[in-house]
Amino acid sequence: MRTILTAIYIFLIAFTAFSQADPAKIKVSEDIELIKISENAYVHVSYYDMPGYGRSSANGLVFINEDEAFLFDSPWTDSLTMDLYCFLRDSMKIQITGFIPNHWHIDCMGGLAYLQTQEVESYAHQMTIDIARSKQLPVPGHGFIDSLQLFLGDEAIHCYYPGAAHSMDNIVTWIPSEQILFAGCMVKSLNSDNLGNTSDGDLDAYPGTISKVMKQFSAAKLVIPGHGQCGGPELIQHTLDLAKTR
């Protein structure tokens, strides 16, 4: 009897731990997850079979104010982006009204064409627009050079171009109300041991660019990389170390 009770007790502990392990994770589909990181923000994680790399994940951000939201980076494809868009609209009653890609790669704006069919306004660095146009990709609607301030209701969104790093056009986005920095692929997760794909970037400029980001956003409580686990400012320091020792 004691053995049975012990087994039940262990099961209940394990069940409780499991049910509390990811209380903020929402499974949208087999290839998309939403992870709540603050009162008004979710990281969206999408999965895609990259040729030569296999199944790969990428992070984006959903910032919500009441029943509207901005999307930062789309899932990899139009179909994945449609799944996320429809889930937010139908299940969470949230309408995406704006979109900002970190740079021109598929893991940032692979779903832009779908968002344009839904009349979502899109904003990007002018270099991203120029590259997209030259590569015959869907083109964001509005461009900026150094910085851009937008509003979602009464909440500010700040976009900055700190310089070349992962790509020539990569930006960062700061949401002061949440103290969230969406850094995208220029910042690496702590388990990354290299800078990843830099074929479209600038390795010489990388340390200086990351140093600017570190200095300007030292108040960030949450830093979201393009891939892997989110964290704090230690992700920026880790990336700087990688950039200096490449």
Tens-digit pLDDT profile for residues 72-96: 999 999 999 999 999 999 999 999 9
Report residue 187 CA to chain centroid gap.
11
Active site residues: 103, 105, 107, 166, 185, 188, 197, 227
Q: What is the pLDDT of residue 51?
A: 83
pLDDT recorded at residue 9: 36
pLDDT at 26 over 70: yes
pLDDT at 86: 98
pLDDT of residue 54: 86
| Number of neighbours of residue 176 by Cβ within 10 angstroms | 12
Residue with tokens 């900055």: 160
Mean pLDDT computed over 174-199? 96
Choose between 28 and 7: higher pLDDT: 28
Mean residue pLDDT of the chain comes to: 91
Q: What is the mean pLDDT of residues 122-127?
A: 98
Q: Which residue has the higher pLDDT, 4 or 28?
A: 28
Instruction: List, for residues 50-69, the tens digit of each pLDDT value.
Output: 887 789 999 999 999 999 99
Domain boundaries, the chain: 24-244
Q: CATH: 3.40.50.720, 2.40.50.140, 3.30.530.20, 3.60.15.10. Which one for 24-244?
A: 3.60.15.10
% of the chain exceeding 70 in pLDDT: 91
pLDDT score recorded for residue 11: 32
- Low-confidence winner among 22-26, 78-82, 167-171 (lowest mean pLDDT): 22-26
Check pLDDT > 90 for residue 4: no
At 12 the pLDDT is 34
Environment class of residue 210 by beta-carbon count within 10 Å: exposed (0-12), middle (13-18) or buried (19+)?
A: buried
pLDDT of amino acid 23: 58
- Give 162-213 as a DSSP string: ---SSSTT--EEEETTTTEEEEETTS--TT--S----TTS-TTTHHHHHHHH
Q: Is 160 exposed, middle or buried (0-12, 13-18, 19+ CB in 10 A)?
A: buried
Q: What is the pTM of this model?
A: 0.89
Task: Give the pLDDT confidence score for residue 2 in this predicted structure.
Answer: 42
pLDDT of residue 22: 60
Rg (CA), the chain: 19
pLDDT of the residue at 215: 96
φ, ψ of residue 89 to 5 degrees: the values are -70, -45
